[in-house]
Amino acid sequence: MRYRLALLLPVVGCLLGAASATKPASKPTAKAPKPASKPIAPDTIAHSNALFLRTLSADGTQIVHFRAAAIDKHFFFEEPAGVTVYEFDGAGYKKVELLRGATLATAMKKYGTK
């Protein structure tokens, strides 16, 4: 048995060496199509929200990047300048402060414990 394994060892080594020396599979010439992204726009939107978004994007001339979150009575709006914090007063949200240079996570941590 030992001798049979010793005889097979060089054969296996040659096969492994030959397999690694083969040319790798060529890349496909056509790229796979990107999956269609799902729309995030709501079916309806309040007029005041539409006006806010229109103003935010300067009537479509500026690309807008922002994130938003809420904890209890606080609403957080993150933009490149920082995070604006709003507090719900029973009828709507009023601006509390702008945390310049802050991230959404730091603002939520600051107000989430109150």
Instruction: Identify the residue whose tokens are 């056509």.
Output: 30
Give the model's pLDDT for residue 77. 94
Give the model's pLDDT for residue 26. 60
pLDDT band of 65, cuts 50, 70, 90:
confident
What are phi and psi for residue 90, nearest 5 degrees? 105, -25
pLDDT band of 30, cuts 50, 70, 90:
low
Average of pLDDT values for 74-98?
A: 93
pLDDT digits (tens, 9 = 90+) for 39-54: 777 888 899 999 999 9
Alpha helices, H only, the chain: 2-21, 47-56, 104-112
Evaluate whether 75 touches 86 at the Cβ level (below 8 Å): yes
Evaluate whether 77 touches 56 at the Cβ level (below 8 Å): no
